[in-house]
Structure formats: structure tokens, C-alpha cells
Amino acid sequence: MTPGFWPARSVLVTGATGLLGGWLVEALLEREASVVCLVRDVVPDSRYVMEGINGRTVTCVGDVGDQPTVERVLGEYEVRTVFHLAAQTIVGIANRNPVSTFESNVTGTWTLLEACRRSPVVSEIVVASSDKAYGEQTNLPYSEDMPLQGRSPYDVSKSCADLIAQSYAGTWDLPVTITRCGNLYGGGDLNFNRLVPGTIRDALAGRAPVIRSDGNFLRDYIYVDDAACGYIRAAEYLAGQPAARGRAYNLSLEEPLTVFQVVESIQKSLGTDLAPIVLNQATNEIRAQYLSSTRAREELAWSPTVGFTDGLRRTIDWYRAYLRSRPGLSPRAARS
């Protein structure tokens, strides 16, 4: 943490109603930043709304793909630091509805960056990319100098957004840096077709978990609060290091797990042992993806502080309270 950097600093966060968005906004408020959030839809069950985080921010309702709206927000609130998280993040939705995913993830990124380029005040921009931007690679773990070669719709959308951010940095010297995270988990993820929240919900309900793949897909998992701290460190570093413009940083716990291992850990934590239902229906997905965070450790002085077991305990506690308050919540869905 850079002392004195955040108090009273005007910060824009797009995608505040998402999993990472709520945690990042909360972390910025704890650092006394003045936070403005651009949200497309008001999501009553999001942490941003449900836990009253929105009551401590300015909320602007609008689409990140609407450039006049983005320019208005940047100008009227004299925004200095931008965190661009808004995106369509579900692989299955991207496979079914690629155009809406491209509009959100690609058009939304260049629109926001163009608005930032036209702003005389914006001095730091952090763009959320993903490990999916790398596509399938021969060598693991992924490092930041590997090519971006997404092939399926979601992966392509993240590769494109990432390259667009690099283009704005390289062509116009825009102060933008890029973060590439593994799979985020933690309290507040309302996409129950994702592995962690869906399996927790099944276990708490006494149901067998449903696995969409064959159970052997290998991924990184990073606790959401650690990721939020990584984003903040990236912005602080960018402010003092012009060489960080256009540079990317992997954020990972560096302890990849299979789907079966994640399910087993959740069931062990909750004292259940029902055999999972394995559908083996996953398509257009890469079997093994995980990251090296060496660059983030060395340049950002960032490293995760929450291990998977501890993060899972915190996550389970959140969903236990949340689901208890919402009986009969939406039907089950298959997960990774």
C-alpha cells in the first residue's frame, strides 16, 4: 500500500456489481478513495447493493459501451484512476451468445479507453484481462511474455480486450496496465453455474454436486480479496512507473487444482461425501491453465495472503448466511 495515495482520490470502477467489483470497491473505500461506479444493471443481490457498499459511492447507471456516458462520468467526477472490470464473464454464455460477449468485452474496452484518452485528468487505468486471454499453450505455467491466442468466443474476447489495452498504451502512451487472474472465488459470486458457489450450494442443500466436465480440468483459484489488492497495487505501481504502461501482470495463488480436488475440498469442509454427477459435456474449453505470478511479486510487491483452505472457509461462511436468508433460490446448474 502506498501511503497517502488513495484518500480523496476520484476513482471509477466499472462492473461494481460483479464478484471482484464489490470487493475492489470496498477495498478502495477502506483506503478513503472517492469511488464512482458505472453499472449497466442494478443487481439487488450483488454485494455492492445487498451489503450497502453502494451507499458509500456514487452510482451511475449506463453501459460502458456508450462513449458519451463514459466521458460524462470521467469529466463530471474528475476521475483520476480507472478500474475497468465490466465484462460478460461466463464461458457458457459466450458459447451461446458470442455477439453480446464481444460487445461487452471488446467494444466496452475500446470505448472506455478512448474516453480515457480524451480525458485530461485520468492518470492510471487498470484493465481486467484473464488467464483465458492466453488461449491454449504448450508450456505451463503461463507467463506474461506468452502470446495471446484465444480461440473460443470468451477467450477471444479477453485476448482482444487485452491487445486493445496494449495498443492504447503503445500508440498514445495511455497510462494503462493489465491484470490477468486465474479463477476468482469468494463471497458474492451469484453465478451458481460456476464451480465454487454451485458446489457449496449443493453441499449445503444435501445434494450431489454436478460437474459439467470430466472433473480433471486444471485451473488456478485465487481468493477475491487477494485479487482486489493486486489491482490496487497495479494502479499504485503504474502511477510511479511509466514503464508499466502496456505491461501485464498475472495474479495467481500458483497452486492449480482439478475440478475434482475443488469439489472434494468443499465437501470435506462441509462434512459431505456424496459422489458427484459427472456429465462430461464441456466443449471449447482448455484442459489445463495456470499462471506464474513472478512478475507481480517482483514488480508490484504483491503476493496472495489467503490460502485455498482459508479462502474456502470464508467463502462457505458467506454463502451459508446468504442462502439461509434466501430459501428456494434458483435451481441447480452444472459446473465446470
**Residues belonging to the active site:** 154
Q: Which residue has the cell 439487488?
A: 44
What's the start-to-end Cα distance of the chain, in Å? 35
Of the candidates 12, 76, 72, 56, the one whose C-alpha atom is nearest the C-alpha of residue 235 is 12
Residue with cell 442494478: 42
Residues 6+ apart with CB under 8 A from 151: 135, 136, 284
**What Rg do the C-alpha atoms of the chain give, in angstroms?**
19
d(CA 168, CA 179) in angstroms, rounded, equals 15
> Cα–Cα distance between 26 and 158 in angstroms, integer?
25
What phi and psi, each to the nearest 5 degrees, are found at residue 92?
A: -60, -40
CA–chain centroid gap for 141, Å, is 19
